Amino acid sequence: MGCRAESVLAVCFLSNQLSMEPSELSALWAPWRCEYFQKPVREGFLLEAGQSQDDGAVLVLVRRRHCFLMMNRYPYSVGHLMAVPYRKVGELSELTEGERLELWDLAELGQTILRVVVKAQGFNVGLNLGKCAGAGVADHIHLHIVPRWEGDHNFMPVLGASAVLSEALESLYGRLKTACDATA
């Protein structure tokens, strides 16, 4: 289905949803998201991922000297990656020059593999600094690399409070890891 057809379907879905009574609204089944809502964010999960010997278990794709690239276990969009320094720092001014360079190098690598593996057409890349800015882990900087597509599901998080994920983390991890190993 092309972008235009998907956009038309999205508009039809949205207009149907807005004209329905609350009891008539459709539900998207995404049982893996329960883990996100039922468990509080473990404050040290980024440190744990950095120290883990089992990259697959913590979704780490590649390691560098100062930073690593990992998949987000609770993604906003399929393929949502994070570049993370090994050191726990909460401010940009606390990063070393090596950490700053590697964060951006890993963002570039993430974009490269996401273009190949999930055919990303654009990206949201950025930092949430501080709890009031949306940081789930305010004391450990991490750079988000979120793939985007023309006509994608932008309305779902805003109006439906839902994210649409088209592939399971484990299968996508395997494809991204293969692309990363071939590129890195």
**CB 147 within 8 Å of CB 107:** no
Q: Which of 80, 142, 144, 153 is catalytic?
A: 142
**CB 49 within 8 Å of CB 184:** no
Residue 124 tokens read as 């949201």
Establish whether 140 is a catalytic residue.
Answer: no
Strand partners, 67: 85
Please state, in angstroms and rounded to a whole number, the distance separating the CA atoms of residues 117 and 99. Answer: 26
Q: What angle do CA 62, 66, 69 make, to 5 degrees?
A: 30
Please state, in angstroms and rounded to a whole number, the distance separating the CA atoms of residues 87 and 173. Answer: 24
17 by Cβ neighbours in 10 Å (0-12 / 13-18 / 19+) ranks as middle
Catalytic residues, which ones?
A: 142
